[in-house]
Amino acid sequence: MSGKSELIYACRRRQPSVNGGGKDCPCWFSQCFILPFANLLRRASLIICTLLVSQLVVGIAPIATASQTEKVKLSIDVSKPGPKIDRNLFGQFAEHLGHGVYEGIWVGPDSNIPNTRGIRNDVVAALKAIKVPNVRWPGGCFADEYHWRKGIGPQRVVTLNPNWGGVIESNAFGTHEYMDFLDQIGAEAFLSLNVGSGTPQEAAEWLEYLTTTQPTTLGKERAANGHPAPYKIAYLGIGNESWDCGGNMTPDYYLSQLKIYSRFARNFNPAQQGNNQMLKIAVGPGGNEPRFIEWTEAVMKAWQNRQWSWDLQGLSLHNYTVVSWDHKLASVGFGESEYSRILKATLEMEGLVSKYSGIMDKYDPQKNIALVVDEWGSWYASLPGANPGFLVQQNSIRDAILAALNLNIFARHADRVRMANIAQMINVLQAMIMTNKEKMVLTPSYYVYKLYLPFQDGSFVPVDFNAGVYTHGEISLPRLDAIAAKDSSGKLWLGITNLDPNRSSDIEVTVAGLTPKKAIGQTLTAPKVDSVNTFESPNTVVPKAISAKVEGGMLTLKLEPKSVTVISVEQ
């Protein structure tokens, strides 16, 4: 925000509230004339304004601190709704990794922890409350070593999990348990196929087992295992990071695999033959390196020249927020320096999404292929004492801000980014939920997903604003971020994030095409940049009510430092 506008706002904020209304300096002067001691007041006001103007002229900072003076104007035009913000942008990822599945979801039917067919009830209730649209499973790197037959039937095959801590994999949580879990939370299936160490036959048989209505041997086996009706598989990932942990493939090698798997992993569910087809998602880029640009070009070019026998509907993008893979930052006990470094790093998502959307536009200008950000989130150093292969980290208000910034980026690219899965849902990396035996705690990131519920399947509405700047040392970031959307009932919602951990922000919102009467919502903030929820203190970072003042069709509200706020605007 320019120094000039700061001065104007300073003038407005400093006037006494004569007749109750907010007025600019000139009106204030005239009102002052009719008050006792008018000359004295006038002289004082002239001195203040002269001082401020002199500062503008010589270009030095105003006397008042920025927190007292800065206002940000947001303007929304509801007559210009954009693309749908697909509810799948709020997807989750659950890998067989640490306590992500075992203990996080699965405790077994004999556990003392309240459960339904082995799946913990507290976790199900918490996930239902954020309307999880889909859950990607079983990995991750784990997927390329997963053999589905070991996880069905009464006798499970016990194997190892060499990727993640080398621990025993009991296979107690397999296909049926995953589908049951989805059913309990009301989410759709997003299976990740084993392309690395599996075969097209194994994948084809898994899909037949899951989806056929015919009395084939596999169909009958599914029924014998408790599910006579075919399952619906909404999304199918063909491999995971095949350029790395998924088999270190070259783009050409992966493409030959992709075509085979896309052809033969068929979905036979009669309900999924028309508009409701299973969407196939190819491995895409994993960062900014030239090899990922080459990879993306190769996959998209092959798709453009495809023959009838194979197809794709999505291209994956993986991107974690990590300042240095060799020296990962801590997830607790950090200060403003680490706060600002992580937020700077996370904003790189915008560049990646723009870059890969641009490449996709070349081969798919109609935007048939979705960019699916199916692994994203913060990646910090493991908590001391935890198995380093379990990727256990705490989740602070910093992660809540990070989540909101990324969700906003996806929403702004909603025409291309139609699915995203935060890594990972429970107990791993940037988790929604943490558990310890019978205890469960909801993280600050969880609450962002809760605040953002109205944006699921909303129509994106552009917001114009001057973000201002938050500076810490060498790092300068936008001070604010905002998105808006209309929900299915036509109600307008505004999400605003104040990145600045030190200064509150005064916001003025005008809405063209709508006369606001009321604006209420919730805000999430915390005492410190590293504030977390723990099993002992689960309510340190929880949303609280907020309402805007509405006057003359304009909304004004004060955002707390380091906060995420969502309000509905009612007319």
Catalytic residue selected from 6, 241, 338, 560? 241
Q: Which of 49, 132, 141, 434 binds ligand AHR (CB under 6 A)?
A: 141
Catalytic residue selected from 103, 205, 375, 560? 375
CB of 479 to ligand AHR, least distance (A): 31
Find the helix packing angle between 251-264 and 290-304, rounded to 10°.
Answer: 40
CB of 416 to ligand AHR, least distance (A): 22
Nearer to ligand AHR, 424 or 523 (CB): 424
Applying CB under 6 A, the site for ligand AHR has a residue count of 11
Residues 158 to 187 in contact with ligand AHR, rule: CB under 6 A: none
* 278 alpha carbon, distance to own chain's centre: 23
| Region of residue 226 (phi > 0: left; psi between -120 and 50: alpha; otherwise: beta) | left
Termini Cα distance of the chain = 30
Q: Which two tokens stand for residue 178?
A: 């995953």
SS3 state at 22 = coil
Active site residue 536: no
3-state helix, strand, coil in the chain (%, to 5): 35, 25, 40
The verdict on 239 binding ligand AHR (CB under 6 A) reads: no
The answer to whether the CB of 312 falls within 8 A of the CB of 254 is no
Residue nearest to ligand AHR (CB): 140
Nearer to ligand AHR, 137 or 261 (CB): 137
**Candidates 102-110, 136-144, 151-159, 259-267; binding stretch for ligand AHR (CB under 6 A):** 136-144
Cα–Cα distances in angstroms (integers) from residue 404 to residues 186, 259, 323, in the given order: 23, 36, 19
CB of 453 to ligand AHR, least distance (A): 25
Separation between Cα atoms, residue 367 and residue 10, nearest integer Å:
47
Nearer to ligand AHR, 308 or 325 (CB): 325
CB of 56 to ligand AHR, least distance (A): 51
Nearer to ligand AHR, 96 or 503 (CB): 96
Separation between Cα atoms, residue 52 and residue 45, nearest integer Å:
11
The verdict on 241 binding ligand AHR (CB under 6 A) reads: yes
| Of the candidates 390, 380, 386, the residue with the CA atom closest to the CA atom of residue 167 | 390
Separation between Cα atoms, residue 463 and residue 306, nearest integer Å:
39
The verdict on 145 binding ligand AHR (CB under 6 A) reads: no
Nearer to ligand AHR, 423 or 480 (CB): 423
Nearer to ligand AHR, 422 or 550 (CB): 422
Tally of CA atoms within 13 A in the half-sphere of 208 that contains its CB: 16
CB of 190 to ligand AHR, least distance (A): 13
**Candidates 24-32, 238-246, 495-503, 559-567; binding stretch for ligand AHR (CB under 6 A):** 238-246
Nearer to ligand AHR, 212 or 435 (CB): 435
Q: Which two tokens stand for residue 56?
A: 């503008």
Give strand ranges (E) for 310-468: 314-321, 370-378, 417-423, 433-436, 439-442, 459-461, 463-465
Largest CA distance in the chain: 97
How many residues are present in the chain? 571
Active site residue 338: no
The verdict on 139 binding ligand AHR (CB under 6 A) reads: yes
Cα–Cα distances in angstroms (integers) from residue 315 to residues 85, 281, 383, in the given order: 18, 5, 33
Name the pairing type of β-strands 505-512 and 463-465. unpaired
The verdict on 423 binding ligand AHR (CB under 6 A) reads: yes
Nearer to ligand AHR, 429 or 557 (CB): 429
The verdict on 375 binding ligand AHR (CB under 6 A) reads: yes
The verdict on 95 binding ligand AHR (CB under 6 A) reads: yes
User: Other C-beta atoms within 10 Å of 490: how many?
Assistant: 11
Q: Give the gyration radius of the chain's Cα atoms.
A: 27
The answer to whether the CB of 447 falls within 8 A of the CB of 543 is yes
CB of 92 to ligand AHR, least distance (A): 12
The verdict on 91 binding ligand AHR (CB under 6 A) reads: no
Q: Which of 104, 118, 138, 140 binds ligand AHR (CB under 6 A)?
A: 140
**Candidates 45-53, 117-125, 133-141, 215-223; binding stretch for ligand AHR (CB under 6 A):** 133-141
Residue numbers of the site for ligand AHR (CB under 6 A)? 95, 139-141, 240-241, 245, 375, 423-424, 429
Active site residues: 241, 375
